[in-house]
Amino acid sequence: DVKVTQSSRYLVKRTGEKVFLECVQDMDHENMFWYRQDPGLGLRLIYFSYDVKMKEKGDIPEGYSVSREKKERFSLILESASTNQTSMYLCASSPGRPQETQYFGPGTRLLVL
């Protein structure tokens, strides 16, 4: 079974803090993704990566950055957390061409005060 794990289930941070969310997959998948999910807005893609050290912007990259130093690990960084970044953050991975099915982690619920 594919396993995607996220470093924290719940996180509380202060405005202006630098926040790291980590995601690890154990199936040697090529592609990894970060989404945020908010009521009424659905799933929105923040960043994704097709390969180690590669990253591409999704639909809402502002205020975020990512790092992928190893194939199995994809980190999302909030450079200076703001209250409008309070959300559920979901990491996903997919095997690579031609397989596009994404497998999700359990999510991190982030509260920025």
Partner 1 sequence: EDQVTQSPEALRLQEGESSSLNCSYTVSGLRGLFWYRQDPGKGPEFLFTLYSAGEEKEKERLKATLTKKESFLHITAPKPEDSATYLCAVSGGTSYGKLTFGQGTILTVHP
**103 binds partner 1, rule: CB under 8 A:** yes
Binding of partner 1 by 105 (CB under 8 A): yes
d(CA 98, CA 39): 32
> How many Cα atoms are found within 13 Å in the side-chain-facing hemisphere of 63?
14
Residues comprising the chain, all counted: 113
Question: Between 54 and 113, whose beta carbon lies closer to partner 1?
Answer: 54
Tell me the chain's radius of gyration from C-alpha atoms. Answer: 13
Q: Are 29 and 96 in contact (CB under 8 A)?
A: yes
Quick check: 8 binds partner 1 (CB under 8 A)? Answer: no
What tokens appear for 91 in the block? 């990491």
For partner 1, the binding residue among 25, 85, 87, 102 (CB under 8 A) is: 102
> Which H/E stretch holds residue 88?
strand 87-94
Say whether residue 84 binds partner 1 (CB under 8 A): no
- Closest separation between CB of residue 3 and partner 1, Å? 12
Q: Is 97 in the site for partner 1 (CB under 8 A)?
A: yes
Q: Which residues sit at the interface with partner 1, rule CB under 8 A? A: 4, 31, 42-43, 45, 48, 50, 58, 88, 90, 92, 94, 96-98, 100-107, 109
